[in-house]
Structure 1
Amino acid sequence: MPLLYGVFLLLSFTINVNSVTVGNLCTNTVGTKCDCTYDGAGRLEVNCSKRTLDLVPAGIQPDAVVVDFSDNIITTIELNDFTGLNQLSTLYLQRNLISTIVQGAFDKLYKLSTINLQNNKLTVIQSGSFTYLPNLVSL
């Protein structure tokens, strides 16, 4: 009987994987809790929106494909904010207070295709901020 029950649990879990919430994977080094889910294709989406963040926290999962920092109070995008997010394809930064993007802030994000910066206070975008983004199609 226990084997049959275990098979039932396994089947129940595998059938219901469209959006799996991942517990501690989103607690980063500064202790900010973000919501992580895997979509139906197994891609990690990290949602840090509406957390009153004033900077991009360290420790976001390196396999994240979508990262949402919208509706926070971030003011500057720094050089190493997205280092190591090599799978990142979509980055939501809209509705923050971003005024400055430091040169090289998006370097080595070769898979990044979309950055949403709408409704910010951009005054300084340093030369070369978007140079090494061969797949960028939407800014």
Structure 2
Amino acid sequence: MRNILLNQILLITAFLGLSSAFLIVDSCPVSSPCTCSVSSGIDGNINCGSKSLTNIPNIKQSSSHVSNLYVYFNSNKITVIQNNAFRNLNSINASYIDLLLYSNMIHAIESNAFNGITNTYISLNLDENNLSVLPSAILNLHNLRNLDILQNPLHSLDASFMSNIGRHLTSFSLDLKLFTEWPGELHYLRVLQTLTVKNIQFPHLDINAFHGFENTLTNLTLVSSKLEKVPYAVCHLSHLSSLTFRYDNNLQENKSSIFEPCGKKLSSLTSLNLDSNNLHMFPNVFTLFPSITSLSLYNNKLQYIDITKIPFHSKLNYYEFTV
């Protein structure tokens, strides 16, 4: 009888301990109105987006362990990211954290805001905020891989800042609406693989615009620019596989090519997107890019498709046109 009672006590204790463990693992490290899903062993998310927040709420410690953590603080009214705002995220032990802070009113990030996650692989989205300079706090993110600063009132880039993040940054998104010239500081981005640039305010780029990452860049997106042609600088991108050039009313194929003379073929490129430009004629893209498998010319002013410009031996297997 004593042994049976002891076994029952042990079973009850084990059950309570297991239940407690599950409660700890599944508990949300942020309070309402935020929600989250942070279960050990899988991707997790903390969702504080569109909650009318004016600052980052207290993030509690958690015993959950996830591979990738997606943290949404987008579409709020946050103006300042305070010190230690994300300190307790390290308790989740995520190997990768995606911090989504876009569509706020952030004008400052305090120097120790990223304490606790400085050595974690980070993607940081600060699109559509009020940053007029790049906050030095970002330099504390020693494994920052992706930085999006589109739609911020920046007018220049700091050379020292770019040199520091250039050692590890692989993806960068930048808005040049207030820039008077192409930022030469981009050449510090020595391992860059993906570059998105919006609102280029000048008709031409220097031939060395992509110097520094010409051997690493694979994806280039130029949006809403005033460029008159796809720049010659693209010719230096020896590993470019995807080129997107959209929303440029100055880009039009008439008697001359939309490409500045290159002098060689870029066989590495397989995907070309020329949507929403001012093209009236089918551009001769296969001369420069003979290996294209995907081509999009959606929302242009094409009057007809000249199929003679598509080589018989073309590798094209996806296309989207409007006439």
For Structure 1 versus Structure 2, the TM-score category normalised by the shorter chain is 0.5 to 0.7
Sort the Cα spacing of 1:123 and 1:63 in 2 relative to 1 into closer, same or farther, 3 A: farther
Note the 1:17-96 alignment, pairs <5 A. 17=44, 18-21=68-71, 23-24=85-86, 31-32=108-109, 43-60=121-138, 61-85=141-165, 86-94=167-175, 96=177
Runs of 4+ in 1 over 6 A off after TM superposition: 123-127
Task: Give the aligned partner of residue 39 of structure 2.
Answer: 13
Preserved CA contact (<8 Å) 1:94 1:118? yes
Aligned length: 128
The answer for the alignment partner of 1:118 in structure 2 is 198
RMSD over aligned CA atoms reads 3.6
What's the CA shift for 1:43? Answer: 4.6
Which structure shows the bigger proportion of residues in helix conformation?
Answer: 2
| TM-score in terms of structure 2 length | 0.33
- State the TM-score, normalized to the length of structure 1: 0.66
Q: 1:99 to 1:81 in 2, by over 3 A?
A: farther
Contact between 1:51 and 1:72, CA under 8 Å: does it hold in 2? yes
Q: Would the alpha carbon gap of residues 123 and 78 (structure 1) be closer, same or farther in structure 2, given more than 3 Å must change?
A: farther
Indicate if the aligned counterparts of 1:101 and 1:125 stay in contact, CA closer than 8 A.
yes
Structure 2 counterpart of 1:115, one-letter code: L
Contact 1:64–1:88 at 8 Å: present in 2 too? Answer: yes
Higher relative contact order (CA 8 A, sep 6+): 1
Q: Would the aligned equivalents of 2:131 and 2:153 in 1 still touch at CA under 8 Å?
A: yes
Q: Deviations over 1:26-46 (max 9, x none)?
A: 8xxx9427xx9xxxxx85210
Per-residue deviation, residues 91-127 of structure 1 (Å, max 9, x unmatched) = 1113642223443x13442321122122133589778
Instruction: Give the 3-state SS of the residue equivalent to 2:186 in structure 1.
Output: coil
Kindly, what percent of the aligned residue pairs are identical?
Answer: 14
1:6 and 1:77 map into 2 onto residues whose CA distance is 48
Identify unmatched segments of 5+ residues in structure 2: 1-12, 27-37, 45-67, 73-84, 88-98, 100-106, 115-119, 222-323
